A and B are shown apart, each in its own frame.
Chain A
Amino acid sequence: MTTNILEYLEATAERIPDSPAFSDEKLTLSFLEFLKRSRAVGSFLIGKGVKRRSPVMVIMNKKPDTIAVFFGVVYAGCFYVPIDPDMPPDRVKLITAKLDPQCVFTDKKNFDPEKYGLTCPVFEPDEAESAPLMEEGLRAVRDTSIDTDPIYVVFTSGSTGIPKGVLACHSSVIDYAEAFTGMLKPSVSSVFGMQVPLYVDACLKEILSTIKCGSHTWLIPRSMFMFPVRLVEYLNRHEINTLCWVVSALTIISGLGTFETIRPSHLSTVCFGSEVFPVRQLALWREVLPECRFINLYGPTEATGMSSYYELPKDRIFGPDDRIPVGKPFKNTRIFLLDDDDKEAIEGEICITGRCLTLGYFRDEERTAKAFTQNPLNHDCHELIYRTGDIGRYDENGDLVFVSRKDSQIKHMGHRIELGEIEQNAGMLEGISSQCCVYDDIRNRIVLYYTGEAEPKDIMMSLKSKLPSYMLPSKLEKLKVMPVTNNGKIDRSSLRNKAKEEE
């Protein structure tokens, strides 16, 4: 039985040491090289005397070395906390304060720890990757590790304005690796093109497939997603055959008419998720790639990666009113729906249980207890479930369909965002007396309405210093009065309609 994710890497590095594991334009690491670097980083950390089961922050760009640092941290018996290197320092500060990391790895030039609220040691990855191996130290860590030890924390948007960190362990990630690769069936001939950044758990799809099944992953630079024709050229040049992308990345290609100029030539599997795929866009993809597998994925970070999947039958056409199901749970995962009275229903809150559950939110017992609860259907024994806050229903084929969110969380360009966090940050600015953030799902844009003296461009400037770019509103509009409902609450739905109607 696998009890440590490093076993996957070690077995693959022994089987195919010289095959490529991770690549970007500058560097390709073979499995053996990748393993060596990871073990060197692990040895380096052990040499520095880091405490076991404690956080190591990683503020690094999207490149093969970064993944080696992740695994190095795990080799040292610690857990890695990947941070977007472009995240405004003020927001990182909030995370740092909660996390209290042992140390930080960064490849940022002229990094000023104080700006990020950091007082711990800061290391450069190059230094660690060439550190001498400490076989005994690595062995000692492994011998005393268990599969409920944490591996990583990823931070997601929080409605109170403070990001929350989801803590995953070996067993939850192993469970996901087995279920996901069992469904996708990647092999040594699979070539992935990774779209997602390394600071979200979505990147596990490629990383786990690579280390477990010997596939090859290309880390596609973010800037590539600005230029759809170049992006397809990139896929073709590297003979990429497997994609696991957020929907908005796929629709950048299809929506801008790229297929009239160039078509992907090697794709055989396309997984998508995180957002609803507009049926017309999906049809364009299926027309260009009639033999390709298309798989819709669904799952919250709290249940490690993805929880359910639906492979589109080749002969099923989706009409404008059809929703693509999120299908059936992965092997060894159970999903059920609870209504407002906590009774099992055919439409209700999506609840998940199984070994896939993460350890909850880092240093946040209150929010953990709210979301991870005893299964109300089980009166016999302890059984934790995760309440997603998503509403789902079953269709006539018994497939799960995502309906909506219970709260004001949205998915925008693949990122999970609490509109409340944007409002919190806007509300702290001078010259704003009230504010409301809505999502226009027709144009896929965030719109911030506010009242007060402040000018839109000044608000934009301030928000830029507090929020990552994907959380910035595309449109800011000053209102004379904020519309309210009969109970005196801000009338969100009228503003949502306004956002959709306006240019």
Chain B
Amino acid sequence: MMLEKLTELLKGLHPEADIENEDGLIDNGILNSFDIVTIIAEVDDMFDVKIPASEIVPENFNSVRALSDLVERISEEF
């Protein structure tokens, strides 16, 4: 569910990318700083999850799977 929603969000931002299979969203320069800010705001809106600054690192945004794991991990911590 979460993975689906995040995939949908990223596809909306980057319809040209193969979001499901891409594992270099940051390393390959697909996401930019506007996207990161958008994603953080949307994650807050959709799941009521606040991603702390210390977790905003390339590893957590390189793939939709990594992002979904991150959001899941944070939501469990609370």
Binding site for B on A (CB under 8 A): 222-223, 225-230, 252, 256-258, 260-261, 413, 443, 445, 456-458, 460-461, 464, 469-470, 472, 474, 476, 503
Contact = CB atoms under 8 A, between A and B. Distances in A.
B30 to A, nearest CB: 11
Interface SS majority for chain A: helix
Contact of A470 (B26, B34, B45, B53): B34
B24 to A, nearest CB: 13
Contacts of B46: 503
B1 interface: no
Contact of A226 (B41, B45, B56): B56
Contacts of A464: 16
Interface SS majority for chain B: helix
Given A460-B12, A461-B15, A464-B16, A227 B56 contact: yes
A252 B33 contact: yes
Given A226-B58, A226-B61, A461-B15, 6 more contacts: A256-B52, A413-B34, A460-B13, A470-B34, A474-B13, A474-B34
A474 B38 contact: yes
A503 B31 CA distance: 21
A352 to B, nearest CB: 30
Contacts of A470: 34
B19 to A, nearest CB: 11
Contacts of A226: 26, 31-33, 36, 56, 58, 61
Nearest to A469: B32
A228 B56 contact: yes
B48 to A, nearest CB: 12
Contacts of A223: 26, 29, 32-33
A228 B53 contact: yes
Given A256-B40, A460-B15, A469 B53 contact: no
12 contacts: A222-B33, A223-B26, A226-B26, A226-B32, A227-B56, A228-B53, A256-B51, A413-B34, A445-B38, A460-B12, A472-B34, A474-B13
B57 A230 contact: yes
B41 to A, nearest CB: 6
Contact of B54 (A225, A261, A460, A469): A261
Contact of B32 (A222, A258, A476): A222
A368 to B, nearest CB: 32
A464 B35 CA distance: 14
A503 B9 CA distance: 13
Contacts of B12: 456-457, 460, 476
Given A229-B56, A260-B52, A443 B15 contact: no
B53 A443 contact: no
A443 B56 contact: no
Nearest to B54: A261
A252 B57 contact: no
A360 B74 CA distance: 52
A256 B56 contact: yes
Contacts of B57: 227, 229-230
B5 interface: no
A456 B15 CA distance: 9
A105 B12 CA distance: 35
A225, A227, A464, most chain B CB atoms within 10 A: A227
B63 to A, nearest CB: 15
Nearest to B61: A226
Contact of B53 (A257, A445, A458, A503): A257
Given A222-B33, A227-B58, A474-B38, A461 B16 contact: yes
Contacts of B50: 257
A234 B7 CA distance: 31
B16 A261 contact: no
Contacts of B34: 413, 469-470, 472, 474
B16, B32, B50, B61, most chain A CB atoms within 10 A: B32
B15 A258 contact: no
A472 B34 CA distance: 10
A232 to B, nearest CB: 9
